[in-house]
Amino acid sequence: MCIFCKIIKGEVPCGKIYEDEHVLVFLDINPISKGHCLVVTKEHYETLLEIPEDESIYLFKALKKIGKALMKGLKADGFNIGMNNFSAAGQVVMHAHFHVIPRFKGDGLKHWPGKKFEEGDYVKEIKRFL
Ligand code: 5GP
Ligand code: ZN
């Protein structure tokens, strides 16, 4: 069983922030900033691609709820939402989850580096699979 499933079952402790029938929110054990939360589905899905459409509304609601609570409760000035899908993208725990990272003015965290835009045939390649 994966570590997040163990947390959901209560076999491993966590800093629980919010829970409903579908979703659990808890503090990341290795936070990027204070109040860094993880929003997970109670069902085990590996990545975004496996999450059924009808579950996504509960995730979206929880993300909004947590973002608002972080802004009010921690006086955050903003927040980032991130999701790593597949190991190439940095996913370490293979139980789909969103990171909600409170941001504070002048916190020094950097965004991903951008590259120069190059015209290519990516549009065609991507659209083929929509
Ligand atoms: P990923 O790279 O898979 O998107 O991120 C996994 C996240 O889960 C990491 O930020 C890591 O700190 C967090 N994490 C891993 N194991 C545990 C744990 O046992 N408890 C908590 N609260 N967070 C964990
Ligand atoms: Zn799991």
- Per-residue confidence of the chain (130 residues) as pLDDT tens digits? 999 999 999 999 999 999 999 999 999 999 999 999 999 999 999 999 999 999 999 999 999 999 999 999 999 999 999 999 999 999 999 999 999 999 999 999 998 999 888 877 788 888 999 9
Q: Coil, strand, or helix at residue 9?
A: helix
Nearest by Cα to 15 from 33, 36, 1, 32: 36
Ligand 1 contact via 88 beta carbon (within 6 Å)? no
CA distance 104 to 43: 32
97 given a catalytic annotation: yes
CA distance 100 to 81: 5
The model's pTM is 0.96
The ligand minimizing its distance to the Cα of 50 is 2
Cβ neighbours around 87 below 10 Å, total: 9
Cβ neighbours around 63 below 10 Å, total: 18
Ligand 1 contact via 90 beta carbon (within 6 Å)? yes
